[in-house]
């Protein structure tokens, strides 16, 4: 969720100049920068992409990475941050963000390797304590995915969701209500929010299996309205909005004003909740945001989120208690048991009185995760609800409509659009598991660390990935009435034809068994390891390279008779003799790493080839991009006997 950072979009248009190379490139980047600075990321991406295709450079790649991350397109963000993080001029901030997007894309081991790179070159952008949380989060996420919470059931509420963002579902006076930035009809609205390229948020109601827009609005429509919280007992609705500032507010705020979120309230029977609404005591649109309101059942306590000064960092959760005269008392920060240096969002309470919220600062899978606050003696701690309730993406706005059941939102893969609303049950009864192992087809020995993917047929984007353990074993939690395909891959083995199976007709808890046998590569068959990178002019094994070498170790352990040559290659820059020596040192380093992992030295041959075996046209004297040169800086191996 990015609605805490909304700037007024003053861009009235832009002029794209045609192709006079230097001038056109400058104009294109200038236009792209204006859109980026105005938070119009959809338009900025289009312009930066055109500029990069004309002339690749680090700054444009950086802006593309940031723009894709801000609109939460984590797959594209990974592509661009990978280019930045593995460039010779990589900044430590690029490496950190690369770790974040790898985590968002379920690549937890790879993410941890990038965080370890950050630790080696820390420049004050993150504390050792915060790094420890990130390490632990990667480790925990792997465990959670491999050992899903068996009592949780979660389903996409497809009757409600649109291709745009839908979230904040909560019980109201007549049906349940939610916020959305969907397009309502065939005609595109006059006002578009540049950050998302969609309309501004509005409130909607789901009743009798139909969705209708609520006549709740603010100003001319160029404002976000929602989500909301209700108190039937007090006949009240509280909601989050953005609004245009008054002339006096603009004058006092200065030139670069940010329009912050506010909370207002009205009676439930008001014709339009936005008219004659009452401002919340802590509104301050030019200084900080207040949002994500949640009223207790009695209506006597209001929880909200704010980035006001003196918090723990990011956005914190606060509460206020209603006074005898009906006004709200002083705001109370919920403290370190809830709030972190990250962002805490969307407070909620279930029917038993347990407190829930979302955060990206506690031990989590990635993005926002949902937590329950539990008490241990006099201390409280936030407990992650685990997988599959949480995902590597953003999971938030949990609301209950009955004991242990309710609605939450997520932009996880497999949804209908951006943020989708999901129904959940925290007390699922039927449990279907899949267990198996990955083995070398030739030796029948386990293949450690193999990437095993489980994919629901017809919902291929909702793939779940685990890595086989030291014994080759893996385990998945399955949904009812679903067809699946199962596949596995590991360095040194040939592609595997997917296995198919189904849970249809299974109405009681059971465990299915499926084993996978991978065929090893043939003698002299070359395997290119393009994910093994070295820092410029160095032969040290980086944490991310170590992950790839671990896969070679797994291959060799699965076939104790196999012998391999491990070769290193360089790009054509530099002298022949220097590159021969550098690549030999790199090959030797890779072999030494494998020896330390328990592989016998007499099974390994290290060979540096310099730039004698280029993989593309970038010979000495040929003008190539940094990425084209990097294609030649690679490590390969092939089986030389068994």
Instruction: List CB contacts of 564: < 8 A, sequence separation 6 or more.
Output: 552, 556, 603, 604, 605, 637, 638, 639, 640
Cα–Cα dist 62/55, whole Å: 14
| CATH number, domain containing residue 584 | 3.30.1330.60
CATH code: domain of residue 44: 1.25.40.10
Output the pLDDT for position 378: 61
d(CA 123, CA 93): 9
48 in any annotated domain:
yes
Q: What is the DSSP string of 504-566?
A: TT--S-EEEE--EEEPBPPBT--EEETT----TT-----HHHHHHHHHHHHHHHH-TT-EEEE
Examine residue 630 and state whether it is found in any structural domain, yes or no.
yes
Residues 250 and 108 in one domain: no
| CB neighbourhood size of 4 (10 A) | 20
Q: Check whether residue 394 and residue 269 sit in a common domain.
A: yes
How is the chain split among helix, strand and coil, in percent rounded to 5? Answer: 25, 30, 45
Note whether 436 and 417 are same-domain residues.
no
Helix axis angle for 92-104 and 128-146, nearest 10°, is 20
Residues 488 and 554 in one domain: no
Give yes or no: residues 459 and 334 share one domain. Answer: no
Q: In terms of DSSP H, where are the helices of 254-388?
A: none
What is the model's pLDDT at position 109?
93
Question: How many domains does the chain fold into?
Answer: 4
Domain end, chosen from 518, 536, 565, is at 518
Does 258 map to a domain?
yes
Task: Look up residue 193 and give its DSSP letter.
Answer: B
Among 84, 106, 124, which residue terminates a domain?
A: 124
**Of the candidates 415, 453, 422, 451, the residue with the CA atom closest to the CA atom of residue 72:** 415
Query: 410 and 451 share a domain?
Result: no
Q: Is 15 inside any structural domain?
A: yes
Residue 183's CATH number? 2.115.10
Q: Give the pLDDT of residue 449.
A: 94
Q: Is residue 420 domain-shared with residue 443, that is, in the same domain?
A: no
Is there a single domain that holds both residue 178 and residue 90? no
For residue 9, the model assigns a pLDDT of 32
CATH of the domain at 504: 2.60.40.1120
Is residue 67 in a domain? yes
Is residue 395 located within the same domain as residue 455? Answer: no
Is residue 61 classed as helix, strand or coil in its secondary structure?
helix
Amino acid 18: pLDDT: 34
Residues 263 and 400 in one domain: yes
CA dist 327 to 98, 299, 308, 322, 348, Å? 47, 12, 20, 6, 21
Q: Are residues 562 and 622 in the same domain?
A: yes
Q: Evaluate whether residue 137 is within a structural domain.
A: no
Contact 251, 258 (CB under 8 A): no
- Give the domain range for residue 32: 6-124
DSSP secondary structure of 561-612: T-EEEEEE---S-S-HHHHHHHHHHHHHHHHHHHHHTT--GGGEEEEE-TTS
Does the residue 136 lie in any domain? no
- Give the mean pLDDT per block of 10 residues along the chain (642 residues): 39 30 72 87 92 89 93 92 87 93 92 91 80 93 89 90 94 90 71 84 91 81 87 91 83 74 93 90 92 94 95 94 94 94 95 92 93 76 93 94 91 87 88 94 96 93 92 94 95 94 87 96 85 79 88 94 92 91 93 94 93 91 87 88 76
444 and 405 fall within a common domain: no
Question: Cα–Cα distance between 606 and 603 in angstroms, integer?
Answer: 10
- Inside any domain, residue 143: no
Count of CB atoms situated within 10 Å of the CB of 315: 27
Could you tell me the pTM of the whole model? Answer: 0.77
Find the helix or strand (DSSP H, E) in which 48 lies.
helix 41-54
Last residue of a domain, one of 518, 548, 573: 518
């Amino acid at each position: 969720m990015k609605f805490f950072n909304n700037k007024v979009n003053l861009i009235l248009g832009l002029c794209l100049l045609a192709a006079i190379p230097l001038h056109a490139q400058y104009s294109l980047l200038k236009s792209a920068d204006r859109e980026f600075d105005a938070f119009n990321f959809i338009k900025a991406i289009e312009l930066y992409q055109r500029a990069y295709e004309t002339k690749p450079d680090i700054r444009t790649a950086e802006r593309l990475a940031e723009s894709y991350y801000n609109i939460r397109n984590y797959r594209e963000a990974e592509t661009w941050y990978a280019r930045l993080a593995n460039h010779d001029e990589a900044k430590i901030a690029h490496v950190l963000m690369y770790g974040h997007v790898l985590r968002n894309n379920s690549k937890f081991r790879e993410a941890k390797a990038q965080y370890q790179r950050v630790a080696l070159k820390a420049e004050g952008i993150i504390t050792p304590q915060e790094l420890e949380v990130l390490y632990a989060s990667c480790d925990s996420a792997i465990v959670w995915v491999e050992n899903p919470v068996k009592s949780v059931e979660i389903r996409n509420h497809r009757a409600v969701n649109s291709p745009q963002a839908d979230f904040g579902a909560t019980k109201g006076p007549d049906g349940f209500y939610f916020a959305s930035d969907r397009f309502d009809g065939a005609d595109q609205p006059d006002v578009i929010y540049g950050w998302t390229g969609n309309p501004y948020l509005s409130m909607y109601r789901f009743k009798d299996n139909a969705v209708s827009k609520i006549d709740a609005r603010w100003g001319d429509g160029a404002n976000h309205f929602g989500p909301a919280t209700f108190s039937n007992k007090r006949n009240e609705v509280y909601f989050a909005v953005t609004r245009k500032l008054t002339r006096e507010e603009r004058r006092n705020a200065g030139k670069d004003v940010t329009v912050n979120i506010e909370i207002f309230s009205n009676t439930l029977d008001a014709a339009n909740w936005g008219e004659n609404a009452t401002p919340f005591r802590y509104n301050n649109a030019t200084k900080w945001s207040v949002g994500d309101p949640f009223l207790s059942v009695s209506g006597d306590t209001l929880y909200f989120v704010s980035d006001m000064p003196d918090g723990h960092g990011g956005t914190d959760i606060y509460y206020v208690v209603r006074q005898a005269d009906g006004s709200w008392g002083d705001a109370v920060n919920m403290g370190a048991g809830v709030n972190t240096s990250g962002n805490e969002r969307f407070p909620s309470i279930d029917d038993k009185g347990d407190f829930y919220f979302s955060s990206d600062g506690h031990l989590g899978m990635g993005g926002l995760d949902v937590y329950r606050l539990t008490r241990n003696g006099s201390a409280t701690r936030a407990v992650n609800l685990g997988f599959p309730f949480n995902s590597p993406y953003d999971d938030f706005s949990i609301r209950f409509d009955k004991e242990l059941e309710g609605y939450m939102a997520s932009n996880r893969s497999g949804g209908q659009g951006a943020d989708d609303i999901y129904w959940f049950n925290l007390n699922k009864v039927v449990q279907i598991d899949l267990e198996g192992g990955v083995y070398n087809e030739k030796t029948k020995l386990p293949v450690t660390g193999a990437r095993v993917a489980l994919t629901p047929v017809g919902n291929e984007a909702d793939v779940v990935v685990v890595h086989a353990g030291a014994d080759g074993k893996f385990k998945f939690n399955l949904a009812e009435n679903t067809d699946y395909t199962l596949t596995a891959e590991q360095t040194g083995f040939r592609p595997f034809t997917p296995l198919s199976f189904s849970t249809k007709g299974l109405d009681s808890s059971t465990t299915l068994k499926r084993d996978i046998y991978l065929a090893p590569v043939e003698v002299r068959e070359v395997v290119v390891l393009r994910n093994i990178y070295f820092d410029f002019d160095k032969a040290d094994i980086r944490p991310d390279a170590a992950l790839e070498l671990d896969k070679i170790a797994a291959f060799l352990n699965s076939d104790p008779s196999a012998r391999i040559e491990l070769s290193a290659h360089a790009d054509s820059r530099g002298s022949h003799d220097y590159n021969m020596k550098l690549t030999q040192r790199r090959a030797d380093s890779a072999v030494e790493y494998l020896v330390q992992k328990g592989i016998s030295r007499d099974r390994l041959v290290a060979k540096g080839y310099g730039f004698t075996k280029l993989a593309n046209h970038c010979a000495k004297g040929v003008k190539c991009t940094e990425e084209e040169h990097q294609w030649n800086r690679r490590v390969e191996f092939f089986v030389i006997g068994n």
